[in-house]
Amino acid sequence: MYSIAPANSNVTLKARPAYDYHPSWQLVMVGGYDGVSDLDAFKISDDDGTMFTSRASLPETMVSHCLAIMDEERIMAVGGYTSQEKAYMYHRQNK
């Protein structure tokens, strides 16, 4: 999976990020690959998916993993090439 950001975006070209959408969170994108290295990025869209705000970094880089917005308070990232036996839960109160 590749995502190419429009020219007015603050997101660079990334390969294999995990993403999900929920009305209370908007578009969430974590991990991936920027063409040089694996990423520990955690970004949440502030609008329609054009501009993103960085949140706390993931505990490790993650590529080809899954992301699920569990509810209005929790997001879970699991699997991938670098953490096949790990799962991470993010709570909104930790922003």
- Check: pTM over 0.85? Answer yes or no: no
How far, CA to CA in Å, does 11 sit from each of 23, 35, 47, 73, 86?
A: 20, 13, 13, 24, 26
Domain range annotation of the chain: 2-94
pLDDT digits (tens, 9 = 90+) for 4-23: 455 555 555 467 889 999 99
pLDDT digits (tens, 9 = 90+) for 33-44: 888 888 898 999
Beta bridge partners of 20: 28
> Following DSSP, what letter does each residue of 19-75 receive, concatenated?
EEEETTTEEEEE--B-SSSB---EEEESSSSSSEEE-SPPSS---S-EEEE-SSSEE
